[in-house]
Structure 1
Amino acid sequence: MASFRLEVIGVEHIPEVRYGDNVAALIVEACRKGQLTLSSSDILVVAHKIVSKAEGRIVELSEVTPSPFAHTVAKQTGKDPRLVEVVLRECRRIVRMDRGVLVVETHHGFICANGGVDASNVGPGRVALLPKEPDASAAQIRRGLQELAGVQPAVIISDSFGRPWREGTVDVALGIAGLEPLIDYRGKEDTFGYEMKASLAAVADELAGAGELVLGKTRRIPVAQVKGFSSSGEAGKGSHLIRSPEADIFR
């Protein structure tokens, strides 16, 4: 019987990313320094933070003037009114406020704490926003890898999201390129001949979570190289992972 092996490698040697940097070029150079071979069969999990930095999605809190509503929300949540103002600008609606937690729906459709606005690894007095169009960002990185290295690995842009009913955060796919985000097992039979009715595997999220194991929050490793997973498809998008309000029983 053939064995299945998945390998996840942290891509080191990526410097501090600044506005205007070419993320694909940084990855290619880091792989060269680390003696890692890029292949079109690879999947690269890229922490959104370096993409946000390259795209200028960093906000100086000293330049933010909170609205009266931001001050009201800040009092209820115990958060910095300037941070709340940034979160409100990045969201469609507030989903829940309770016990210091502010859960919102972003303009992308993600439902997450603080709308993905994050103060880690950007320096004091600054916050990072999610990429404006994560799928487009992933596609741009993939095109850059093709131009610079002659290979087209799939690209996942990831971020850590909390989960209802479970402790801890898990990385999920915000944007993807070159990978179908879901594997549909519905209508197929399991090993006992049972026809599966509702099995839809979120493989892009699973791969993002695997990549997170080598990325970490305190190590300067913002890219993971995944080998051994058979990816297919060009048309898949991270937005396909967002459940529609009509199908969501919790909205």
Structure 2
Amino acid sequence: MSTGPVLSAWAPDGVGEVVAGDDLATLLLPLVDLSDGDIVVVTSKVVAKAEGRVRTSTREAELPGETRRVVARRGATMIVRNRLGLTMAAAGIDASNVAPGQVVLLPLDPDGSARRLRATIAERGGVNVGVVVTDTAGRAWREGQTDIAIGAAGVIVAEDFTGRVDEYGNALVVTAPAVADEIAGLAELATGKLGARPFAIVRGRPDLVLAAGEDGPGASALIRAEGSDFFGYGAREAVLRALTGDAADRTPFGAPASAEELAAAIAQATGLVAVPDRQGLAVTGAEPGRRTALDALAFAFGWAVAPPGPDPSVTENDGVAHLRPVTP
């Protein structure tokens, strides 16, 4: 009976408490017998501890410095896009497995941390391994959490099957398994949350490990750019941002929608008819009572009501609102 590739993961005991200045390779190498093609998985918390990212503070006090922008807020829970570009609760600041009154911030550069650990293992252990740095995160539309890759070196972080066909001849249009995240989730099954085992070794996918000296793009390649995510704000926050109409909030709404899409939304939300004009759309009958909704819709769809100016189709008091697409 033939079988496919065998994938295994195990987490060594005996690491002990990690403190600032500890050398992670020194802690790991005596505990494992690594082989070329293995993937070393390490939690971001011990990376952060070794790099001196523990603070005597609180999440609330440290959150502003770790936050790029707020995505959503529900009571005391705040989801933010942090300085690494990751969207996480409390910016990934953790108050578990540290002394009371302390918190751990994420590593400054998880991809850089992975590269350094990989290079040290290669130098001292003489083996070519991949390295993945993990952290725990929730997922939209799903209960519970799982570990994801926030740093990587020497590992293919996403496979690309675009252009290939399945066994029925169907073209795979958008199929890119985030294998670094899958490795992180597998490793977490071995390490557990309370076992004091911050390292795991994943063996059986040497095809995902890059050649010695080739680190690859890192886990940052898995982060969507601002504006390309369909869910740049939470539901309440999206309404508030659109009504406020601050130009600084445009990017997370994405590229401007088509004129046809915006016209359909205007008709659905206000009953007004938007028709093409020289440079965009013209909406007749936008009385003051409807103007707030029209402004918010235009903002959310990447457009704006054009002020009088050099555009010859826009006049001061023609009774028509002229909408133009805006580049974030």
TM-score normalized with structure 2 length: 0.67
User: After the TM superposition, which of the residue ranges 9-18 and 46-55 deviates more from structure 2?
Assistant: 9-18
| Percent pairwise identity | 38
Residue of structure 2 equivalent to 1:119: 95
- What is the alpha-carbon distance in structure 2 between the residues aligned to residue 107 and residue 245 of structure 1? 12
Cα deviation, 1:92-134, whole Å, max 9, x if unaligned, reads 1111110321111111100000101001111111000000000
Between the two structures, name the one with larger relative contact order (CA 8 Å, sep ≥ 6). Answer: 1
- What is the alpha-carbon distance in structure 1 between the residues aligned to residue 30 and residue 56 of structure 2? 30
- What is the alpha-carbon distance in structure 2 between the residues aligned to residue 105 and residue 28 of structure 1? 35
Residue of structure 1 equivalent to 2:63: 87
- What is the alpha-carbon distance in structure 1 between the residues aligned to residue 209 and residue 131 of structure 2? 12
What pairs up with 1:222-237 in 2 under 5 angstroms?
222-229=198-205, 230-233=207-210, 234-237=215-218
- What is the alpha-carbon distance in structure 2 between the residues aligned to residue 213 and residue 168 of structure 1? 14
Residue of structure 1 equivalent to 2:126: 150
Aligned residue pairs, count: 226
- What is the alpha-carbon distance in structure 2 between the residues aligned to residue 126 and residue 85 of structure 1? 11
Query: SS at 2:170's partner residue?
Result: coil
- What is the alpha-carbon distance in structure 2 between the residues aligned to residue 129 and residue 24 of structure 1? 21
Residue type at the aligned position of 1:10: A
TM-superposed CA distance for 1:245, in Å, is 2.1
Alignment RMSD (CA, Å): 1.1
The question of whether the paired residues in 2 share the 8 Å contact of 1:25 and 1:148 is answered with no
Query: SS at 1:11's partner residue?
Result: coil
TM-superposed CA distance for 1:227, in Å, is 0.5
Residue of structure 1 equivalent to 2:25: 24
Query: SS at 2:166's partner residue?
Result: coil
Query: SS at 2:155's partner residue?
Result: coil
One of 36, 41, 45 as aligned partner of 2:37? 41
Cα deviation, 1:184-230, whole Å, max 9, x if unaligned, reads 01100111111100101100000000000011111111011001013
Query: SS at 2:138's partner residue?
Result: strand
Residue of structure 2 equivalent to 1:216: 192
Residue of structure 1 equivalent to 2:117: 141
5+ residue gaps, structure 1, are 32-36, 62-81
Residue of structure 2 equivalent to 1:56: 52
Query: SS at 1:246's partner residue?
Result: coil
- What is the alpha-carbon distance in structure 1 between the residues aligned to residue 123 and residue 53 of structure 2? 25
One of 175, 198, 207 as aligned partner of 2:174? 198
- What is the alpha-carbon distance in structure 2 between the residues aligned to residue 185 and residue 39 of structure 1? 28
Query: SS at 2:150's partner residue?
Result: strand
- What is the alpha-carbon distance in structure 2 between the residues aligned to residue 28 and residue 187 of structure 1? 41
Q: Is the counterpart of residue 174 in structure 1 residue 146 in structure 2?
A: no
- What is the alpha-carbon distance in structure 2 between the residues aligned to residue 46 and residue 27 of structure 1? 10
Query: SS at 1:245's partner residue?
Result: coil
TM-superposed CA distance for 1:2, in Å, is 4.8
Residue of structure 2 equivalent to 1:79: none
TM-superposed CA distance for 1:235, in Å, is 1.4
Residue type at the aligned position of 2:97: N
One of 103, 107, 121 as aligned partner of 2:83? 107
Moved over 2 A (4+): none
Residue of structure 1 equivalent to 2:230: 249
TM-superposed CA distance for 1:30, in Å, is 2.2
- What is the alpha-carbon distance in structure 2 between the residues aligned to residue 235 and residue 141 of structure 1? 14
- What is the alpha-carbon distance in structure 2 between the residues aligned to residue 91 and residue 245 of structure 1? 14
Query: SS at 1:183's partner residue?
Result: coil
Residue of structure 1 equivalent to 2:5: 4
TM-score normalized with structure 1 length: 0.87
